[in-house]
């Protein structure tokens, strides 16, 4: 191996006008929402610990650094290739694009522009230059529309993670502090750049860093510690086999799922404290577990109640295997719709990444399978209601905003029996509804915040009324964005103010009513596009061939339709056909949607699941 060069580089030095390639065998960008949430949380928390209102931007030079780890590069044929580190650099590029749009100062935007792309011989190219990603990055940078659904997985991930950044970036970094954050990000976020002169050497470095025994993962170090405390050789070998098999099952789900499971489990069952949301607060159990759980574990044996060899045996042979299997089940229910555990799927579809921690907190190591199942259903049902009650009142459920609330909830429900859990969750629901309840639906409408939830919510209404009307229905089909002709939000009113100028006072009022909850449906994408410019009287007969929520606008839906009419009458729902559709009809439809929502998201559902 030839000489290896390693030197510290901040983000500005790494991305200033330098072009990187990612070879075909390294090309996939695989980060998920959880990794983006953690990245944004770590970076913004580190910055806010140091920033104070009244600081001059020149004071950032005295702020502390944040270490992002190493990246491995190779230089050959006048090309710099990323061998290790492209997930982080790509994610940071997406963050820079987001920040570029949020900045107002032209000079500040120009600095970021140079880190995102550069021109050579009049041709623009992105600094991380991967051909299949360029169209997506260009659309994000120029704010143009882009259909990610038909793209390769890596590009779909890229597009989705950018929108995750838009959702999770904290409001606490606002117009005044944003330029400070940008300066800190590009000047104080550091990497160690390791450069090899050949690609072969670069891969040797990568393998050495990741495969040598000295580079054990936190999961491996925790395993080693636990096994070292078991005295009996036979029992130690059994525990080792159980641990190894469980980790293999977790890794079958995803590369880092073994680590993610342990963090989730320890936070759910054993953590007692979390960092306060104020400047200068120090990391506590929750936060330390998220970075070095193996060290936290060794320093908190009393909290985990581990003293004797038999305690360590039981920890692996009973608790570890039980909670690992539960976690695997939850991951499966999150991606595969199961009617018995439908709320787990709904919450995952809303990108609620704290769900597994809250559910695992409720389950006692001694619970029977029947008790486990009830608790999964009860807690996931509560979380579904928690999400919707906040969203319809325009309150965020993003990770950074509610992680403290969810951790504290986890502590309150930790290891409760079924009856105690039901009482606690119902009380939590009543307390929530004192602030945020379904009355918010009367003012609910489509905007930049609610857009990411609206397809889910209208799909839930559609799926619910079809089920109750004995119609074969699939919530998964309604929300599956990967299918060729996926569903989109349909505005019942065409975007043409001239058709309604006598009914609405002005265009602002027209736009508000057009985007109200009660003025929306879901339709397959092709029909949504072909219907959207038509006036209501032309759409009405077309809606009759669509889903039941759309059909209910047409008077034919109320003829020879006994199951639907029985459902309507049993629940006293104000379904009505409309020959025209304007302000009054939208308000009536809004009330109907609220009535349906109160059936779907009723707190009584929690009590029913406890029986």
Residue-level pLDDT at 233: 84
pLDDT surpasses 80 at 215? no
Average pLDDT over residues 509-515: 96
Any alpha helices (H) in 469-610, and if so which ranges?
A: 475-479, 507-514, 525-531, 536-543, 548-551, 562-570, 583-600, 604-610
Confidence of residue 220 (pLDDT cuts 50, 70, 90): confident
Euclidean distance between CA atoms 284 and 483, whole angstroms: 43
Confidence of residue 228 (pLDDT cuts 50, 70, 90): confident
Residue-level pLDDT at 326: 98
Euclidean distance between CA atoms 574 and 578, whole angstroms: 12
pLDDT surpasses 60 at 359? yes
Instruction: Please report, rounded to a whole number, the percentage of residues in the chain having pLDDT higher than 90.
Output: 66
Average pLDDT over residues 221-233: 88
Average pLDDT over residues 570-592: 97
Residue-level pLDDT at 4: 60
pLDDT surpasses 60 at 210? no
pLDDT surpasses 90 at 488? yes
More confident residue, 288 or 79: 288
Residue-level pLDDT at 409: 98
Q: With contact defined as beta carbons under 8 Å apart, do 67 and 42 qualify?
A: no
Confidence of residue 212 (pLDDT cuts 50, 70, 90): very low
pLDDT per position as a tens digit, 531-561: 878 999 999 999 999 999 999 999 999 999 9
Euclidean distance between CA atoms 564 and 468, whole angstroms: 8
Euclidean distance between CA atoms 161 and 167, whole angstroms: 10
Q: With contact defined as beta carbons under 8 Å apart, do 425 and 606 qualify?
A: yes
The answer to whether the pTM exceeds 0.75 is yes
More confident residue, 127 or 96: 96
Buried b (16+ CB within 10 A) or exposed e, 546-585: bbbbbbbbbeebeeebeebeebbeeeebebeebeebbbeb
Confidence of residue 27 (pLDDT cuts 50, 70, 90): low
- How far is CA 517 from each of CA 458, 491, 586, 589, 591, rounded to the nearest angstrom? 9, 10, 8, 8, 10
More confident residue, 450 or 80: 450
pLDDT surpasses 70 at 206? no
Average pLDDT over residues 381-404: 94
Residue-level pLDDT at 180: 95
Phi, psi angles (nearest 5°) of residue 41:
-60, -45
Average pLDDT over residues 590-600: 98
Q: In this structure, are strands 5-10 and 117-120 parallel, antiparallel, or unpaired?
A: unpaired
Confidence of residue 279 (pLDDT cuts 50, 70, 90): confident
Residue-level pLDDT at 214: 41
Average pLDDT over residues 39-48: 90
Confidence of residue 271 (pLDDT cuts 50, 70, 90): very high
Euclidean distance between CA atoms 285 and 404, whole angstroms: 12
Helix (H) or strand (E) holding 253: helix 233-253
Pick the closest to residue 188 from 196, 200, 180, 198 (CA basis): 180
Report, in angstroms and rounded to the nearest whole number, the Rg of the chain calculated over CA atoms: 27
pLDDT surpasses 60 at 374? yes
pLDDT per position as a tens digit, 134-176: 999 999 999 999 988 888 888 999 999 999 999 899 888 988 8
Average pLDDT over residues 96-119: 90
The residues that bridge with 190 in the sheet, in sequence order, are: 10, 67
Any alpha helices (H) in 436-498, and if so which ranges?
A: 451-468, 475-479
Euclidean distance between CA atoms 314 and 192, whole angstroms: 42
Q: What is the mean pLDDT of the chain?
A: 90
Confidence of residue 217 (pLDDT cuts 50, 70, 90): confident
pLDDT surpasses 50 at 213? no
pLDDT surpasses 60 at 211? no
pLDDT per position as a tens digit, 337-350: 999 999 999 999 99
Pick the closest to residue 182 from 90, 95, 116 (CA basis): 95
Average pLDDT over residues 223-249: 90
pLDDT surpasses 70 at 198? no
Confidence of residue 481 (pLDDT cuts 50, 70, 90): confident
The residues that bridge with 445 in the sheet, in sequence order, are: 516
**Residue partners of 158: CB distance under 8 A and separation at least 6:** 29, 90, 94, 133, 136, 137, 148
More confident residue, 23 or 325: 325
Residue that the structure tokens 């019942």 belong to: 492
Confidence of residue 22 (pLDDT cuts 50, 70, 90): confident
Residue-level pLDDT at 262: 97
pLDDT surpasses 90 at 97? yes
Pick the closest to residue 438 from 491, 386, 377, 512 (CA basis): 386
As separate numbers, helices (DSSP H) first and strands (DSSP E) second, the chain gives 29, 9
């Amino acid at each position: 191996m030839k000489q290896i060069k390693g030197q510290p580089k901040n983000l500005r030095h790494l991305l200033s006008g330098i072009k990187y390639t990612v070879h075909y065998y390294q090309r996939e960008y695989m980060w998920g929402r959880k990794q983006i949430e953690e990245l944004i949380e770590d970076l913004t928390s580190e910055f806010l610990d140091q920033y104070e209102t009244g600081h001059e931007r020149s004071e950032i030079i005295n702020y502390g650094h944040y270490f992002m780890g190493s990246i491995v590069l190779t230089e050959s044929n006048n090309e710099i290739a990323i061998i290790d580190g492209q997930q982080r650099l790509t994610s940071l590029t997406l963050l820079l694009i987001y920040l570029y749009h949020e900045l107002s100062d032209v000079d500040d935007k120009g600095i970021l522009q140079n880190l995102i792309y550069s021109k050579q011989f009049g041709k623009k190219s992105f600094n991380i230059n991967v051909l299949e990603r360029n169209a997506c990055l260009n659309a994000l940078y120029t704010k143009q529309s882009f259909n990610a659904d038909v793209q390769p997985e890596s590009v779909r991930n890229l597009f989705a993670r950018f929108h995750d950044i838009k959702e999770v970036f904290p409001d606490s970094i606002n117009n005044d502090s944003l330029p400070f954050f940008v300066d800190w990000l590009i000047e104080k976020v550091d990497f160690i750049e390791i450069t090899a002169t050949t690609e072969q050497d670069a891969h040797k470095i990568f393998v050495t860093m990741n495969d040598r025994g000295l580079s054990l993962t936190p999961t491996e170090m925790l395993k080693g510690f636990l096994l070292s405390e078991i005295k009996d050789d036979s029992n130690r070998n059994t525990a080792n086999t159980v641990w190894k098999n469980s980790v293999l099952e977790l890794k079958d789900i995803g590369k880092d799922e073994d680590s993610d499971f342990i963090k989730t489990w320890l936070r759910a069952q054993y953590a007692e404290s979390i960092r306060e949301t104020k400047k200068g607060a120090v990391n506590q159990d929750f936060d330390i577990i998220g970075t070095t759980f193996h060290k936290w574990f060794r320093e908190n044996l009393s909290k985990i109640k581990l003293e004797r060899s038999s305690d360590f045996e039981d920890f692996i042979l009973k608790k570890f295997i039980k909670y690992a299997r539960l976690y695997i089940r939850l991951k499966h229910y999150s991606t595969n719709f199961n009617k018995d555990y439908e709320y787990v799927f709904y919450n995952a579809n809303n990108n609620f990444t704290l769900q597994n921690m809250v559910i695992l907190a409720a389950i006692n190591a001694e619970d029977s399978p029947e008790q486990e199942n009830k608790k999964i259903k009860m807690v996931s049902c509560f979380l579904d209601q928690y999400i919707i009650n906040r969203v319809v009142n325009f309150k965020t459920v993003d990770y950074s905003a509610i992680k403290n609330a969810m951790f504290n909830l986890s502590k309150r429900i930790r290891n409760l029996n079924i009856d105690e859990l039901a009482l606690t969750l119902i009380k939590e629901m009543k307390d929530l509804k004192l602030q945020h309840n379904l009355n918010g639906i009367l003012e609910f409408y489509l905007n930049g915040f609610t857009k990411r939830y609206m397809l889910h919510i209208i799909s839930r209404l559609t799926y619910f009324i079809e089920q109750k009307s004995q119609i074969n229905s699939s919530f998964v089909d309604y929300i599956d964005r990967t299918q060729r002709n996926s569903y989109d939000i349909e505005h019942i009113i065409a975007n043409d103010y001239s058709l309604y100028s006598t009914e609405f006072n002005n265009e602002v009022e027209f736009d508000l009513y057009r985007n109200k909850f009660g003025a929306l449906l879901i339709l397959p994408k092709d029909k949504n596009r072909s219907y959207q410019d038509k006036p209501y009287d032309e759409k009405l007969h077309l809606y009759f061939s669509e889903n039941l929520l759309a059909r209910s606008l047409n008077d034919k839906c109320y003829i020879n339709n006994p199951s639907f009419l029985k459902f309507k009458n049993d629940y006293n729902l104000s379904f009505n056909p409309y020959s025209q559709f304007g302000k009054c009809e939208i308000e009536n439809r809004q009330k109907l949607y609220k009535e349906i929502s109160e059936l779907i998201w009723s707190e009584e559902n929690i009590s029913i699941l406890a029986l």
